[in-house]
Structure 1
Amino acid sequence: MGTSALLKAAGIGLGDEVIVPAYGNVEIAEAVVSVGGLPVFADIDPGTYCLESEAVTAAIGPCTAAIVAVRRFGGAAGLRRVHEVGSDKGLLVLVEDDETAPVPAGEIMQRQAQAAYLSARLRGVDAPVHNEGHTYGQYVVRVPGNGRPDRDAFARAVRAKGVRCSVPVKTPVHRLPEYRRDVELPETERAADETLALHIGGGLGRRDLQRMVSACNALGGLLVPAF
C-alpha cells in the first residue's frame, strides 16, 4: 500500500499537517497533498540523511497529524527516536523505504562488502556513517570544500576517470516551486550541495573499486575550503 493510501486509511485529510523530509524525492510530499494534507518540512541528521528527532519535535504544531520518515540510502539510524517522538504525541508515524523494490540478500551483502572496502580507503571524500543494518542502496559520500561547485567539479573529474556517480538529491523539496517554504533547513541544504553517490553493487569487481578509490583520493587534496 502506498503512502497516500496509508494516510487516507488513517483519516489524514484536509487541513492536517504531516511532517516530512525535504531531502529526498518529491513523492512523499505529493502523497500528503493528494489526501488534502499540508507537508511540513523538518531537517535531517547530517550523518544519516534521515529526519532528525529534535527537528521533528520543533516542527510539531496543533495541526500536526502524522510524520512520514524515510529510510535513506538503505540506512535508518535515528528513526526509532523519531517514531517515539510521534507516538508520544499520539501522531501517526509511517517509515517508508527509498528503495522501490525488495533487494536480494546476496546483493545487500555485496554492497556492504564494497562499502566497507571503500570506507576503509577513501581519503578524498567523507565516507558515509556506518550503522548496523545499513544496506547501502546508495553509497553516498560528501565532497569537502565549497559546496555544490566543488561537488559538481569533483563528479565531472571522477567520471572522466571511468567512475560512475550521480547526485542523489539535486534540489530539496522545500526549494521546488510548487512546495516552496520559508523554512530553515541548514543540514538538508548542505547535504544537497555536498553529497555524491558512488555507484556500487552489480558486477563491480576489486579492480573497479580500486579505480574508484584512486580517482577520489587523487582529487581530494585539490579541494580546499574557502575561508
Structure 2
Amino acid sequence: MTGLSALIVACGIVRHVGLIEAIVRVESGGNPFALAVNGAVELVHAPRDRDEAAAMARWLAAHGYNFDAGLAQVNSANLARFGLDTSSVFERCANLRAASRVLEECHERALQHWDDEERAMAAALSCYNTGHLTRGLRNGYVTAVRAAVDSLAPGPNRDGSRGDEACHVWGRSARRNPARGSGRARAAIGDTQRDEVFAMSLADAFATRSHEERVR
C-alpha cells in the first residue's frame, strides 16, 4: 500500500481506493495545494502551502473565477455542495471524500447503461472528468487514469479485496511503461448541469497576468 492509498483508506474511503489514487496522481500529482483556474488564462505561480492556497482561492472566488483545488481538484462551483470552502477544500480527507462521492455518483450512472464493469468504470471516469459518460474517452483522460492504475505496484488492496473494482478489473494487464497524462478542463456531473466538477492538474497559478497588478 502506498502512502497515498493509506491516506485514502485513513480518510474512511473503502471503495475504488486504487482508482482514486490514480485520479489524484493524474489530477494534481499528489499535491494537496494544487490550484488551477479554468478558462483561457495564464497564471503567475503555484501556492506553496495551505495558507497561501486558501488565500489564492479566496481571491479567485471574490473575483468571479472558476477554479479547481486540492488533491482531487474539486471545482469551486461545488464547494458548498460538499460542505467545503476556500480553506477546507485543501484539507486532504475532505477533498478525497468529495472525489469519492463524485466517482460513486458517476459509477452508479454508468451502471445504468453498461452491465460490463470495465466499460462502466471507464464511463464513470469520463463522467468524473467531463460530466458526460463518453467524452472523457475521447479527450485522453480515461487512458491517463488507466495508465496510472497500471503503474501502481501490485500488493495489498490491489486485488479487489476492499471492493476496489477498478483495480481488480484493470489490474489484470499492467503495462511496463505507463504514461501519466494530465487532466482536462471538464463540464458537469449531470448531462444538464453546467458546473464543472474537477479540473486540470497543478497550474502555476495565483491570478491571471492581466490581473497581476490587482493581486500584488
Bin for the TM-score computed over the shorter chain: under 0.3
TM-score by length of 1: 0.26
TM-score by length of 2: 0.27
Q: Which protein has the larger Cα radius of gyration, Structure 1 or Structure 2?
A: 1
Larger helix proportion, structure 1 or 2?
A: 2
Larger strand proportion, structure 1 or 2?
A: 1
